Structure 1
Amino acid sequence: MSASLNYKSFSKEQQTMDNLEKQLICPICLEMFTKPVVILPCQHNLCRKCASDIFQASNPYLPTRGGTTVASGGRFRCPSCRHEVVLDRHGIYGLQRNLLVENIIDIYKQESTRPEKKSDQPMCEEHEEERINIYCLNCEVPTCSLCKVFGAHKDCQVAPLTHVFQRQKSELSDGIAVLVGSNDRVQGVISQLEDTCKTIEIGSENPPLQGQAAASGSGTGADSEPARHVFSFSWLNSLNE
């Protein structure tokens, strides 16, 4: 019974630490924030180095010195919400540091490196002296080596717990990269649609002379219809890519 309580207590504490760590992950490098941490106007956070990398990628023709953009001003989009960040004359260094997040990171690192008590280790409920160190691929639960040898998971396929964690982390990172890429393509299509709407509005405000319309004849309407179909087809293709 005590082993079960210890395991549940450890699981709750570990879950709290895991949830905290998720909040401290940079959306660009997918690692814990590296100080200094800057806060964007949309209230999302980035490592200053990652913010500089995004800015340089969005403004490739600005002058740089030692890998850092030296031009003032500029803009880029937040990788989390796509909000446009407009920089002042100080550039990236004009973004405010988030000292609260930096302090939380320091506390988290202190807690995560503190030696754990033996009773706080994740122990198997069936074998009280055995630590949980493998993952059952069939049942999708963590377990211990004895459960694999002659316990409930003896007929199951298992893998080291750390290997499963690293693989799932890599798959998650790849999934995030795909989502970010898809979002960029959608934003590109939206920009094209906005430009097309502006062109149509300008054309409606400046209609052609009647003489030009008469010279073109009824073919004008016939030509515009295929053009609309071509635009719709190209727009759908861009979304499917």
Structure 2
Amino acid sequence: MEALAQVLSCPVCLELFTPPVLVLSCAHNFCKKCLERILILQNCSHINGQFSCPMCRKAMRLRGRGIIGLPRNILVESVLEKFKYELENLHAKEQDQLSQICEEHGESMTLVCLTDDKPICAICKLFGDHESHTVAKIAEVYAERKKSFIKDLDWVFQHSENAERARKDIEMRINELVYTSADVKVMIEAVGTSLLKGIRWRMAELKGKLCNDYSTKLEKLQLVANDLQVSTHLYHQMKIFLEQHSNSVHFLQEDKIFRSKLEKLTEGKANQQDTNDCHISIGQYFKDLIKGININNYISTNSDETLESSSEFPEAFKPDCPAFSFSGGIPNESFCQEVLDFFQKSNEMKQEPIQHISHKEGNNIPSEIDISSEAESV
């Protein structure tokens, strides 16, 4: 290998050729970068310039194309590529052999110290620190540990599958949390704009509470989702290691680390947080918003006409109907949605005269009034 390395080395930089490799008419080969430096040193800057070979001193011309016109030695480049490949394989084998040699005694490690759970050589057992320890043949321990490793890999795979399903469920819960939070905000805005200024502070308080409630529960769900991805990552690491470990010593050295990770994963599964309480109740927020208030007292003056002229509203929306008189308990989602739809329809009816005036006078007044601007006028 050393003789071949000398043949494949550039006579200028004394290193293995760096492609492209250029060959001169005298049959000497050089790296392109090295030959460019030679031309600079010989003041050969013209495309028809003359220079001499650094090896044999033979004079030659560039013939009108500069250094680009010099032919490449494809054969040398091909041999060089194969030589580097074999050199890397040889280096890997040497490293593999060195990893199986005891650093303290320079002997092959053919035993496993069961007390310290590490590969050792025979001298370590006879005269070294492991003299009084229990040992076993490395081949036997390797076969047994490998079977156990494969079983653990299967368990991690099943756990990762379950974790992936749970993670998707968490994502659905997060989406539901986002949409429900948006619905709560719409409900607070729609109902709040139809109430008196006396509940302004309550609206602000509920929005702050909703923000904290949403942030806390979202953070909890995201933490659980992240924890559920740990087993998937560990499964891929164990699978890659099982396929790519180089020898039994390397396997046993890393097996201890993976078993420690498995113990942590098992403990983490037992301590997994409960996410059943990570939801937001529209009904509870609605109850807090209208606590001590009769909604009938805050319906606009033209609500009666709105209800009488519309056949789309259910019986529960009519004035003096008990459905609007909330007097305790937590309102259900159906009740909240009915009230929300009523106030939205009422606001739309109040905006129609404004739209009529804008079309009559030719003004570009928006067809919808911003909830926040209307709220300031209450």
Q: Identify, as 1 or 2, the structure richer in helix.
A: 2
Calculate the TM-score normalised by the size of structure 1: 0.38
TM-score (structure 2 length as normaliser)? 0.25
Larger Cα-atom Rg: 2
Name whichever structure is richer in strand by fraction.
Answer: 1
